[in-house]
Chains A and B, each alone.
Chain A
Amino acid sequence: MITATISLNKDTVIVQREQDVVLFRNRVKEYAVKIRMGLVNQTKLITAASELVRNMLRYGNGGQVLIEVVTRGRDNGIRLTFKDQGPGIADISMALKDGFSTGKSLGLGLPGAKRLVNEFDIKSELGKGTIVTILKWANG
Chain B
Amino acid sequence: MDRIPILRMGQFLLVTIQVDLYDRLALDLEADLVKAVSKTGARGILIDISAVSIVDSFMGRIIGNIGVMSKLLDAETVVVGMQPAVAITLVELGLPLKGVYTALNVERGMDLLKSKIQFEDETIDQEDDNSDDLPE
A residues with a Cβ closer than 8 A to B are 18-19, 21-22, 25-26, 29, 39-40, 42-44, 46-47, 50-51, 54, 98, 105-106, 108-109, 111-112, 115-116
Contacts and interface: CB of A to CB of B under 8 A. Distances in A.
Interface residues of B, number: 22
A18 B22 contact: yes
A11 B49 CA distance: 31
Nearest to B84: A40
B85 interface: yes
Interface in B73-132: 83-86, 88-89, 92-95
- Main secondary structure, interface of A, reads helix
10 contacts: A40-B85, A43-B53, A43-B54, A43-B88, A44-B89, A47-B93, A98-B94, A106-B95, A108-B57, A115-B93
B56 interface: yes
A106 B92 CA distance: 15
B85 A115 contact: no
A108 B95 contact: yes
A88 to B, nearest CB: 22
A31 to B, nearest CB: 15
